[in-house]
Chains A and B, each alone.
Chain A
Amino acid sequence: MTTSAPSLVDHLDILEAHAIFIIREVVAECERPVLLFSGGKDSAVLLHLAVKAFAPQKLPFPVMHVDTGHNFPEVIAYRDERVATLGLRLEVASVQEAIDKGRVPDPGPLGMRNRLQTVALLDGIARHKFDAAFGGARRDEDKARAKERVLSFRDKFGQWDPKAQRPELWQLYQGRVNAGENLRAFPLSDWTELDIWNYIKRENVPLPTIYFAHERPVIKRDGMWLAVGEFVHPEPGEVVERHLVRFRTVGDATCTGAVRSAAENIDAIINEISVTNVSERGATRADDRFSETAMEDRKREGYF
């Protein structure tokens, strides 16, 4: 057979290949990896890549949902559908359980729980003796994430030390840890929000319906549109309005804002974020607004 000219590849192919390479390296080097699956678009892409990395074999590790208890029902339905379709093993690290056991203070049924995720995550990692946890974090999301290695070493307390990161040269990802320590692995480090959407479009990656424009009751709180539902009730003075909205990220329902949008399909979403003036987290995440270094502080405590 003669050698045919290699086909052209674009930058999405390069990002995809790199992510698959990272996933295989971590699974080969670590004893008990797990993939953190929130049901958000980044973890949806990550799961899609992980399945590709080991096809036609089944995914050789479980997925874990860090469940704040304040979920969008559409996201839980999506999570369970993915788990059933792909034949995955699902573990749930529950914030509610951590509250019930007195591991963390109870912020009240409607209080914000994103910070409490750290304790549930670390408990889940310890309970299953996971030594590596894949996350869908991207470096374009936040200035602290922009500093983090692809393989982020965490000590016995799950802490990130940004001043003492392991050198990470070339594509020599080094996953050795001692007992009790763990790694966070971020195969999507070099992807941008736009890359994620273009890849979802190319690969037909299924997503929860709340990413697409739909009408729902919302209230304006701290400059964000919050969906009125089981965990968000209007306070005195807050007016419930009905708007066409979609979500740009998926997190705890009490602190994840919607954006006003008529984008009903992926092409419309790509057009919309190509011209937006507001970052993904700036538009939708109350949990990053506490301080200048909110993300860095949470990562130091063990957050993903």
Chain B
Amino acid sequence: MSESTTDLLRFATIGSVDDGKSTLIGRLLVDTRQLFDDQLEAVAHASAKRGVGDLDLSFVTDGLRAEREQGITIDVAYRYAATPTRKFVIADCPGHVQYTRNMATGASTADVALVVLDATTGLKEQTRRHLCIAALLGVRYVIVAANKMDLAQWSQSTYNAVVSQMNDVGTRLGFSDTVVIPVSALRGDNVVERGFEASWYSGPTVLQALEEAPAGLWANSEAGARLPIQWVLRQHGGGRTYAGMVTGSHFSVGDAVTLLPSGVTATITGINGPRGSMTSAVPGLSVDLDIDQDTDAGRGDLLATAPLPTVTDEFEATLCWFSDRPLTPNSRLRLKHTTRSTPVRVNTISGTLDVETLTVTPTDQLVTNDIGLVSLLTADPIVVDDYRANRVTGSFILIDEVTNATVAAGMIGHASFI
């Protein structure tokens, strides 16, 4: 039932700073004619003003003053493109290690990662970090643009070296498929238009690869359907329905559901969607469910079909730590998971993940941009699936109780490569 999103692909660009992510997206948008004349003129004007040539393609997405002054991407730019076969939501992510939290923001909702790397230098540590984070976030399909091939004189051995490095990393991180494309984002070869320089290359262009990539990979799960309750709607005549977004699998009228954490069982008697009543609702739809039991269910509770998720107040998780202040055992924070928010305490920190070797080093604290393995204890029980089984019920964020800053992203359980 992944047909729900097949015509919409969400992808994120990842990779090290200065390897050409923003230039590649600029090239993709310009060559597929997604830009209006006045937007192109504005990019040309800004390029001339800063003395960076006729048309600095990175300025298409690097829209902030500081980004243009410094020539880097600071935060994710979201752009939209459409071809006859597909609509794209593009998250152009920053490469700097300092802005890893922003890259994670962009990659967290992506179906596919478009890895941009400088073919002349191969995989840098920061590229490996991004690949590792993308894999942790559940990206299974990557498209690799081996960029700056014009500087490598379109050398096939340079390209083969990248393919070999990527195969090695891809196998370890569990990517399902990896296509490597020799490109020059600056000149446009093999981005939208096929280049003539790499006569030895017969694979897809970047655009073709994006059009062929599987979309909606997150729509379905082996685990059952889940509806984290956002809001209780009072119906005319006194009834109540439970509103939220469907995830995991679809709900149908007549399905047996369990309300968690209470464990009350019920049957779905009605489903209301944005366009009226319906007999079933696929993942990604906002609906409200009517059930045959009178309950005190409210925001933060969850309706599920079998196999049921786990109710727990103590669990293992993988954390991406974003704050400048270190995380130590016994730290107290606030956790937001689905529609529930609860105080949380760090039980133990068992180690940090080395993004190059994928080995875990024991530690007793996490510093900025560390990926850590932790055990957490929540004040109220939460209803979870392993992140690999469900991206919605398997994810959470941690919030500083004083500043309200979002200080970490967390995933229930551990990836198989850890």
Residues of A at the B interface (CB closer than 8 Å) are 1-11, 13-14, 16-18, 20-21, 24-25, 27-28, 52-57, 139-140, 142-144, 146-147, 149, 162-163, 165-172, 174, 176-178, 189-190, 192, 276-279, 282-283, 292-293, 296-297
- In the complex the two chains form, is B336's CB within 8 Å of A172's CB? yes
**A167 contacts which of B101, B280, B284, B392 (Cβ < 8 Å)?**
B101
Minimal Cβ-Cβ distance residue in A for B334: A176
- In the complex the two chains form, is B105's CB within 8 Å of A147's CB? no
**A146 contacts which of B78, B279, B280, B404 (Cβ < 8 Å)?**
B78
With most chain A CB atoms within 10 A of its CB, the pick from B45, B65, B104 is B65
21 CB-based A-B contacts, threshold 8 Å: A3-B252, A3-B255, A7-B278, A9-B284, A16-B274, A24-B244, A25-B230, A147-B63, A163-B75, A166-B406, A168-B105, A168-B406, A174-B399, A176-B399, A190-B80, A277-B37, A279-B39, A292-B46, A293-B63, A293-B64, A296-B63
Minimal Cβ-Cβ distance residue in B for A192: B80
Per the bound structure, the CA–CA distance linking A106 and B79 in Å amounts to: 38
Asked, given contacts A174-B336, A190-B80, whether A28 binds B230 with beta carbons under 8 Å apart, the answer is yes
Q: How far is the CB of A181 from chain B (nearest CB, A)?
A: 8
* Chain B, 17-35, CB within 8 A of any chain A CB: none
- In the complex the two chains form, is A147's CB within 8 Å of B252's CB? no
Per the bound structure, the CA–CA distance linking A56 and B231 in Å amounts to: 13
Q: How far is the CB of A170 from chain B (nearest CB, A)?
A: 5
- In the complex the two chains form, is B63's CB within 8 Å of A190's CB? no
Q: How far is the CB of A49 from chain B (nearest CB, A)?
A: 8
Chain B positions 229 through 268: 1 when the CB is less than 8 Å from some CB of chain A, otherwise 0? 0110111100000011100001011110000000000000
- In the complex the two chains form, is B395's CB within 8 Å of A170's CB? yes
Q: How far is the CB of B98 from chain A (nearest CB, A)?
A: 10
- In the complex the two chains form, is B36's CB within 8 Å of A24's CB? no
Count residues on chain B whose CB falls below 8 Å from chain A CBs: 74
Asked, given contacts A3-B255, A167-B409, whether A8 binds B66 with beta carbons under 8 Å apart, the answer is no
Minimal Cβ-Cβ distance residue in A for B237: A56
Contacts of A144 in B (CB 8 A): 63-64
Q: How far is the CB of B285 from chain A (nearest CB, A)?
A: 5
Chain B positions 381 through 418: 1 when the CB is less than 8 Å from some CB of chain A, otherwise 0? 00000000001100111010000111001000000000
Contacts of B284 in A (CB 8 A): 9, 14, 17-18
Q: How far is the CB of B86 from chain A (nearest CB, A)?
A: 10
- In the complex the two chains form, is B399's CB within 8 Å of A6's CB? no
Per the bound structure, the CA–CA distance linking A147 and B65 in Å amounts to: 12
Beyond known contacts A144-B64, A146-B77, A177-B404: 19 more, CB 8 A cutoff: A1-B253, A4-B279, A6-B280, A7-B280, A9-B4, A9-B285, A13-B4, A14-B5, A17-B274, A24-B286, A25-B230, A147-B64, A162-B74, A165-B102, A174-B399, A278-B37, A279-B38, A279-B39, A292-B42
Q: How far is the CB of A4 from chain B (nearest CB, A)?
A: 5
Residues of B at the A interface (CB closer than 8 Å) are 1, 3-5, 7-8, 36-39, 42, 45-46, 49, 61, 63-66, 68, 74-80, 87, 89, 101-102, 104-105, 108-109, 230-231, 233-236, 243-245, 250, 252-255, 274, 278-282, 284-286, 299, 322, 334, 336-337, 339, 391-392, 395-397, 399, 404-406, 409
Minimal Cβ-Cβ distance residue in B for A283: B38
Interface of chain B, helix or strand or loop or mixed? mixed
Contacts of A176 in B (CB 8 A): 334, 399, 404
**A282 contacts which of B36, B285, B337, B392 (Cβ < 8 Å)?**
B36
Per the bound structure, the CA–CA distance linking A8 and B77 in Å amounts to: 30
Q: How far is the CB of A142 from chain B (nearest CB, A)?
A: 8
**A6 contacts which of B282, B337, B392 (Cβ < 8 Å)?**
B282
Contacts of B42 in A (CB 8 A): 292
- In the complex the two chains form, is B254's CB within 8 Å of A3's CB? yes
Q: How far is the CB of A284 from chain B (nearest CB, A)?
A: 11
Contacts of B1 in A (CB 8 A): 6
Contacts of B65 in A (CB 8 A): 292-293, 296-297
Contacts of A277 in B (CB 8 A): 36-37
Asked, given contacts A4-B252, A146-B78, whether A21 binds B109 with beta carbons under 8 Å apart, the answer is no
Q: How far is the CB of B33 from chain A (nearest CB, A)?
A: 9
- In the complex the two chains form, is A8's CB within 8 Å of B4's CB? yes
- In the complex the two chains form, is B281's CB within 8 Å of A6's CB? yes
- In the complex the two chains form, is A163's CB within 8 Å of B395's CB? no
- In the complex the two chains form, is B66's CB within 8 Å of A3's CB? no
Minimal Cβ-Cβ distance residue in A for B42: A292
Per the bound structure, the CA–CA distance linking A50 and B138 in Å amounts to: 32
Per the bound structure, the CA–CA distance linking A219 and B397 in Å amounts to: 53
Per the bound structure, the CA–CA distance linking A174 and B105 in Å amounts to: 13
- In the complex the two chains form, is B236's CB within 8 Å of A56's CB? yes
Q: How far is the CB of B113 from chain A (nearest CB, A)?
A: 15
**A21 contacts which of B46, B286, B399 (Cβ < 8 Å)?**
B286
**B80 contacts which of A56, A140, A162, A165 (Cβ < 8 Å)?**
A140
Q: Which 3 A-B pairs have the closest CB atoms?
A: A143-B63, A1-B254, A282-B38
